[in-house]
């Protein structure tokens, strides 16, 4: 099955600086890579995703890059703000071939701390 | 108009008891999932249901059983609860059959504590 590794486990950055979280996956058939943000006591919230036919995607201060050859993808947050403090999870999902369903395989999470 | 809802939010029970967690989605999605988040925050899929058929059954104890009365509901039944079952359980839904790259939306979670 799929295995997703995520680094670092904890990341502390100064407010206004950039943060980068990296993930690698094992199954070359995976083609969907979402990122979730989870605040303390809350549900995981989808913040951005990327599909295997795209190399980079941006949404305001958040960007995600994908390198299918190397099987890794990264989350970039620029101009970090206190409200960015949370646990971030990367995930991977396989190819959907119809007539079935499969779930997400998650990384172990990165605790992002924004220092004021 | 909550998209994915779960009840109860908190569940405290003793070892050996049987309990259920309910999940409902009003998004018209065709696939629903249960995830377990342990004390280290690791999220792991347990089950998924598509059109009332169990598609994935990860290596979870058979004390756990999902039940889907209809496409909008996927309940989780747990028999003979053990201390190690203490975790937060998240329900999620997705329009898996309608889109090649479907997003998953999570419910608010149920914190289960077994004493």
User: By the 8 A CB rule, do A74 and A22 touch?
Assistant: yes
Pick among A101, A107, A110, A111 to test the B interface (most B CBs inside 10 A): A101
Q: For B28-54, how does the pLDDT look when each residue is reduced to its tens digit (9 = 90+)? A: 888 899 999 999 999 998 988 887 677
* pLDDT at B99 (0 to 100): 62
Q: How far apart are CA A92 and CA A27, in angstroms?
A: 9
Exposed, middle or buried, A53 (CB in 10 Å: 0-12/13-18/19+)? exposed
Pick among B71, B100, B107 to test the A interface (most A CBs inside 10 A): B100
Q: How far apart are CA B49 and CA B31, in angstroms?
A: 5
| Residues of B with Cβ-Cβ distance to A108 under 8 angstroms | 40-42
Q: For B96-113, how does the pLDDT look when each residue is reduced to its tens digit (9 = 90+)? A: 666 666 788 999 999 999
Tokens of A63: 């960007």
Parallel, antiparallel or unpaired: strands B31-37 and B43-50: antiparallel
* pLDDT at A1 (0 to 100): 77
User: By the 8 A CB rule, do A35 and A90 touch?
Assistant: yes
Give the phi and the psi of residue B39 in degrees, each rounded to 5.
-65, -20
* Minimum CA–CA partner of A99 in chain B: B97
> Is pLDDT of B16 > 90?
yes
CB-based contact, A112 to chain B, within 8 Å = no
CA distances to A66, A115, B60, B91 from B5, rounded to whole Å, are 32, 34, 23, 8
* pLDDT at A100 (0 to 100): 47
* pLDDT at B52 (0 to 100): 67
* Minimum CA–CA partner of A50 in chain B: B101
User: By the 8 A CB rule, do A94 and A102 touch?
Assistant: yes
* pLDDT at A99 (0 to 100): 44
Q: For B65-79, how does the pLDDT look when each residue is reduced to its tens digit (9 = 90+)? A: 999 888 899 999 999
More confident residue, B2 or A60: A60
Give the residue ranges of chain A where pLDDT is below 50: 98-100
Omega into A8 within 30° of 0, i.e. cis? yes
Show the 3-state SS of A44-108: CEEEEEEECCCCEEEECCEEEEEECCCCEEEEEECCCCHHHCEEEEEEEECCCCCCCCCCCEECC
CB-based contact, A54 to chain B, within 8 Å = no
Parallel, antiparallel or unpaired: strands B10-13 and B110-114: parallel
User: By the 8 A CB rule, do A106 and A21 touch?
Assistant: no
Tokens of B1: 């108009």
| Residues of A with Cβ-Cβ distance to B57 under 8 angstroms | none
* Minimum CA–CA partner of B57 in chain A: A102
User: Which residues, 6+ apart, have CB-to-CB distance to B71 below 8 Å?
Assistant: B29, B30, B51, B52
Q: For A20-39, how does the pLDDT look when each residue is reduced to its tens digit (9 = 90+)? A: 999 999 988 888 899 999 99
């Amino acid at each position: 099955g799929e295995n997703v590794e995520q680094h670092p486990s904890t990341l502390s950055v100064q407010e206004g600086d950039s943060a980068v979280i990296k993930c690698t996956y094992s199954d070359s058939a995976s083609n969907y890579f979402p990122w979730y943000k989870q605040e303390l006591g809350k549900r995981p919230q989808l913040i951005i995703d990327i599909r295997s036919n795209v190399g980079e995607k941006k949404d305001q201060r958040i960007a995600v890059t994908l390198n299918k050859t190397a099987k890794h993808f990264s989350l970039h947050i620029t101009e970090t703000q206190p409200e960015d403090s949370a646990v971030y999870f990367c995930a991977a999902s396989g190819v959907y071939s119809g007539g079935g369903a499969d779930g997400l395989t998650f990384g172990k999470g990165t605790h992002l701390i924004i220092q004021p | 108009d909550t998209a994915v809802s779960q009840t109860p939010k908190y569940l405290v029970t003793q070892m050996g008891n049987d309990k259920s967690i309910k999940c409902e989605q009003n998004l018209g999605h065709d696939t629903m999932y249960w995830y377990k988040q342990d004390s280290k925050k690791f999220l792991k899929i347990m089950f998924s249901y598509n059109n009332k058929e169990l598609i994935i059954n990860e290596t979870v104890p058979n004390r756990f059983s999902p039940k889907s009365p209809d496409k909008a509901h996927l309940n989780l039944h747990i028999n003979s609860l053990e201390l190690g079952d203490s975790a937060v359980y998240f329900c999620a839904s997705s329009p898996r059959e309608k889109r090649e790259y479907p997003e998953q939306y999570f419910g608010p979670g149920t914190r289960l504590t077994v004493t």
